Amino acid sequence: MRIQTTGVYWSAAAGHGRNQDSLSLQHICLRKGECLLAAVCDGIGSLTASQEASGFVVHCLTDWFYHEGKNLILQNSSRELFLLALQRRFCHIQETLRQFQITQNSETGTTLSALLLIGNRYYLIHIGDSRIYRIRKRKIPIYRQKYHICRLTEDDKDQEGRLLKCVGVSGEDRATIETGRLLPQTCFLLCTDGFYRGNGKERIGQVLGPLLEMPKGEKRIRTAQAATTEHNIFDRRLELLGEQAMAAASKDHMAAVGIIVGAR
């Protein structure tokens, strides 16, 4: 697996001083190959200290990635061990936030969607209404739909749109932790609710899908300069989507992380 390019978008809603969303993108090269952690958290605005909660969660996951996660990768650990380690870290986060609420005598909470790419597998950890999308090119293009976009996560909401589960206030001990095979030429998008609500699934596919097009039949020379340009293009595409979302739903904060997995 080779990560071709990544992009991030992070913006506070107009008129709101502090962005309650947090994101983390950690892409490193180990001797075992590339690995990446991406996470977005949407702090629940109606509760107190939600930016602290979302910040703490991404920070905690990043901490896990560089300490335990990296060592698990180097030790060629099995997928069960990864799932267990992620669950353990989630419990740690949940317990810490619970204690925080007790000591502060307040309620706080955040959603969490995180993606871990290692070797030829992806691991996702999800709770709340942030989303992870996967975009692939259709083998047989349907009219006007050249790219296939699917949602890897389910929103933990009831029929009236109320959030049922989150990190923090709901006290859930379990998050959705899944693993799957990583296919080449795939784009992942992790985003908070404001981002996807203002764009819609199809528009996201239309804007990000073309990034999957790779020059065929010619050797691709990967230089640092080219990598920067690619990052810039991806960042710009996410910015376009973000601006669109901001125009549609200006009250929401936005955070999005995109990753394109290239050919092997």
Partner 1 sequence: MDDRYRVIRKLAEGGSGETYLIWDRRLAQNWVMKRIRTGREGGEEAVRREMTALQQVRREGIPVLADVYYERDAVCLIMEYMTGVSLEELLDREGAMKEADAIRYALQIAELLEFLHGLPGGLVHGDLKPANLLLSQGRMALLDFGGAVFQYGASAAEGYFYTPGYGAPELEKGGQVTVLSDIYAFGATLFSLVTGDRPDSDRGMYPVREQNPSLSAALEQIVLRCTNENPRERYASVGEVKTKLTALLLQHKNPGRLGGIRKRLLPEKEGKHRFQTVRCVLLTEGNFRGKGGTFLRCVLLLLTGICLGGFAAPKAAHAAQMQILPVSVRNGAGEKLLVDFDAVYYTKENPIFELPLHYFEPGRQYRVTIRQEEQENGTVRERSFVICAG
Helix (H, G, I), strand (E, B) or coil at 194: helix
Give whichever of 145 and 229 is closer to partner 1, judged by the CB atom.
229
Exposed/middle/buried for 139, CB within 10 Å: 0-12, 13-18, 19+? exposed
Of 248, 246, 197, 258, the residue nearest 12 (C-alpha): 246
Minimum separation from the CB atom of position 209 to partner 1 (A) = 22
Taking the alpha carbons at both ends of the chain, their separation in whole angstroms is 5
Which of 1, 4, 13, 25 is the binder for partner 1 (CB under 8 A)?
Answer: 25
Find the binding residues for partner 1 in span 172-211 (CB under 8 A).
173
Which of 1, 47, 53, 114 is the binder for partner 1 (CB under 8 A)?
Answer: 53
Minimum separation from the CB atom of position 210 to partner 1 (A) = 21
Q: Which residues, listed in sequence order, are joined to residue 92 by a DSSP beta bridge?
A: none
- Provide the residue type at 145 as one letter: Q
Polymer length in residues for the chain: 264
244 binds partner 1 (CB under 8 A): no
Give the count of beta carbons closer than 10 Å to the beta carbon of residue 200: 13
Contact 221, 15 (CB under 8 A): no
Q: Which residue in this structure is represented by tokens 């690995």?
A: 35
Which of 45, 63, 184, 243 is the binder for partner 1 (CB under 8 A)?
Answer: 63
Q: How far is it, in rounded angstroms, from Cα 159 to Cα 146? A: 32
Minimum separation from the CB atom of position 65 to partner 1 (A) = 8
Q: How far is it, in rounded angstroms, from Cα 164 to Cα 113? A: 15
Q: Which residue in this structure is represented by tokens 């947090």?
A: 22
Which of 8, 13, 135, 241 is the binder for partner 1 (CB under 8 A)?
Answer: 8
Minimum separation from the CB atom of position 187 to partner 1 (A) = 16
Which of 112, 115, 166, 255 is the binder for partner 1 (CB under 8 A)?
Answer: 255
67 binds partner 1 (CB under 8 A): yes
Give whichever of 151 and 236 is closer to partner 1, judged by the CB atom.
236
Q: Which residue in this structure is represented by tokens 């960042």?
A: 235
164 binds partner 1 (CB under 8 A): no
Minimum separation from the CB atom of position 131 to partner 1 (A) = 18
Contact 127, 61 (CB under 8 A): no
Which of 78, 79, 99, 202 is the binder for partner 1 (CB under 8 A)?
Answer: 99
List of residues contacting partner 1 (CB under 8 A): 3, 6, 8, 10, 12, 18-20, 22-31, 34, 43, 49, 51-56, 58-59, 62-63, 66-68, 70-71, 74, 85, 88, 92, 96, 99-100, 103-104, 173, 224-225, 227-228, 231, 255
